[in-house]
Amino acid sequence: MISALYLHIPFCHAKCAYCDFDSRALCGAALEDAAARYLDGLLARIDAFGAAGALAGVRTAYVGGGTPTVLGPRLAGLVRRVRSWCDPLELTCEANPESFDDAMAAALAEAGATRVSLGVQTLEPAELAAIGRIHSAEQALAAVARGRAAGLDVSCDLMCGLPGQTRGSWQRTLGGIAAAVPDHVSVYPLTLEEGTPLARRAADVPALEPDADFQAWCMEEARRALGAAGYRPYEVASYARPGHACAHNIAYWTGESYLGLGRSAAGMLAAGEWDGLAALLGGEPSGAGTARVRYVQVDDAGTRFDVERLTVREAVAEDLMLGMRMTRGVGPELLGRARAAAGEKNVDAAVDGALSRGLAAWDADGRLVPTERGWLLGNELYGLMWDLAADD
Ligand code: SF4
C-alpha cells in the first residue's frame, strides 16, 4: 500500500548560496509561464496515478521543492487536486517566509493543507545574507505566526555552521524560534555542496568551511534548548511538540512505500507496487530478486527515471539504518526480518558492535535505540547497519 506522496516544485525566487537542490530561480512572467506548464504536467500525472488506484491509501502528502509557495494561488489548486484522490491525515507544503503571506496561509488551510514547513534557517540578518536567503528574521517570525493563525501545524528548518555563526547567535536563533512556538523544528548542519557559490567562496576563504566540532555543539545545544522549551527529539534532526511529529518523514524512516511525482522527486515502492505502476514509471519491470525499487524522476514530464533495485537483504539493512535515525529505534519485528534476510550471526554482530561502542542500547520494550553517543556519531551507527546489506 502506498501510504505517502511527495510532489516536487522545482522553482524558487532566488538561488541560495549553499543550495544544490533541483530548483530554477525565476520571477515574473518567466516564472508564470514555466510554473503553468510544469503544473499542467504534474496535475496530469496526479490524475493518472489516481485513476490507476495508486493514491487511495495515501495517509501523508508533502509538497516540497524548491519553494512551492512561489506558485501563488496555484498551490492551493494543487492541494485540492491531491485531496480529490485521497484523504491524507497530514498534508504539508514547504514555504519560504517571503512568499507565505496571509492569503497563501488562508488558501492552503482552506484547500486542505494541514502543515507548513518554513525555511527559516537563522534569525540573524548577517547569516541570512551570507547564505543568500531573501527573507528577513521578521518575515520568518511573522510567517510562523501566520501559519499558526491559519490553523496549520508549523515547522521551521534551522541550519548550523553558517558563515559568521557563533555560539551566541545560534542560541539567539534557538531562543527566538522557541518563543514563536512552532509545532516542529528541524535542525540541519550546513554542508558545502560542490559547485555552489558558497563552496566556491570557501575555496578562497577557509573560515567559511563549517566546523564539525562547532556544528556538533550546535546540535547538542539545540537538543538542550528545544528540550527545555517542550520539544521532544524523535529523529536525529527533528523536534516536535507532543503529537506534532511529521508523519510523512516517519514514513520515509520506517520503510513505508512512497510515491514521488515531479522533476527530481524520489519514490520507493515494493517490487509488486512498482510492477503494477510500471506503465506510468518508465515501463521497466522490477526484475527477479528485487524486493524494493527506489527511483528519481529526472525530467519534467515523468518519462525518465533513475532506478535502483534493492534485494530483501538490502531493503532490510536500509530499514535498520533509517530506523536508527529515530529516537524510538528499531523493534523486535524488524530485527527478526533482518535476521531472516541477512543471517542471525551477522545481525547479532552488528547489534553487539553498536552496543559495545556505546552507540545503541536496549530499551524496556526490547527495542534497539540510539544512545546520545549514537546520535552524535550517527554515521558510525548507520554504517554498522548498512554493512548488513553486503552478501557474506
Ligand atoms: S529556497 Fe530552498 S530550494 Fe530554493 S534555492 Fe534556497 S535552499 Fe534551494
Domain CATH for 199: 3.20.20.70
Q: How many domains does the chain have?
A: 3
226 and 346 fall within a common domain: no
Tell me the average pLDDT across 73-81.
98
Q: What DSSP letter does each residue of 29-92 carry, written as one string?
A: HHHHHHHHHHHHHHHHHHHHHHHTTTTTT--EEEEEES-GGGGTTHHHHHHHHHHTT---SEEE
Asked if the structure places residue 40 within a domain, the reply is yes
Domain residues for the domain of 292 are 265-310
Contact 49, 55 (CB under 8 A): yes
Res. 232: pLDDT tops 90? yes
296 and 343 fall within a common domain: no
Q: Global pTM?
A: 0.96
Tell me the average pLDDT across 57-76.
97
Tell me: the pLDDT tens digits for 274-299? 999 999 998 899 999 999 999 999 99
Res. 351: pLDDT tops 80? yes
Tell me: the pLDDT tens digits for 97-155? 999 999 999 999 999 999 999 999 999 999 999 999 999 999 999 999 999 999 999 99
223 and 366 fall within a common domain: no
Tell me the average pLDDT across 27-53.
97
Q: Looking at residue 288, what is its pLDDT?
A: 94
Residue 344's CB is within 10 A of a number of other CB atoms, namely 11
127 and 151 fall within a common domain: yes
pLDDT band of 369, cuts 50, 70, 90:
very high
Burial 99-121 (b: 16+ CB within 10 A, else e): bbbeebbbbbbebbbbbbbbbbb
Domain boundary among 198, 222, 249: 249
Asked if the structure places residue 129 within a domain, the reply is yes
Asked if the structure places residue 24 within a domain, the reply is yes
175 and 60 fall within a common domain: yes
Asked if the structure places residue 229 within a domain, the reply is yes
Q: Looking at residue 146, what is its pLDDT?
A: 98
Query: Treating both helix axes as pointing N-terminal to C-terminal, what angle do 74-83 and 28-51 enclose, rounded to 10 degrees?
Result: 0
230 and 362 fall within a common domain: no
User: Which residue's alpha carbon is at the smallest distance from atom 8 of ligand 1?
Assistant: 19
Asked if the structure places residue 315 within a domain, the reply is no
Q: Looking at residue 391, what is its pLDDT?
A: 79
Cα separation, 184 vs 94, in Å, equals 13
Mean pLDDT of the chain: 97
pLDDT band of 44, cuts 50, 70, 90:
very high
Asked if the structure places residue 260 within a domain, the reply is no
Mutate-to-test residue for ligand 1 from 8, 21, 70, 96, highest number of ligand atoms within 8 A of CB:
21
Asked if the structure places residue 112 within a domain, the reply is yes
Domain boundary among 249, 281, 298: 249
Asked if the structure places residue 317 within a domain, the reply is no
190 and 98 fall within a common domain: yes
Of the candidates 66, 92, 96, 67, the residue with the CA atom closest to the CA atom of residue 79? 92
288 and 384 fall within a common domain: no
32 and 93 fall within a common domain: yes
Residue 19 Cβ inside 6 Å of ligand 1? The answer reads yes
User: Which residue's alpha carbon is at the smallest distance from atom 7 of ligand 1?
Assistant: 19
Res. 169: pLDDT tops 80? yes
Tell me the average pLDDT across 350-358.
97
Q: How far does the centroid of ligand 1 lie from the alpha carbon of residue 96, in Å?
A: 9
Residue 65 Cβ inside 6 Å of ligand 1? The answer reads yes
Cα separation, 82 vs 43, in Å, equals 9
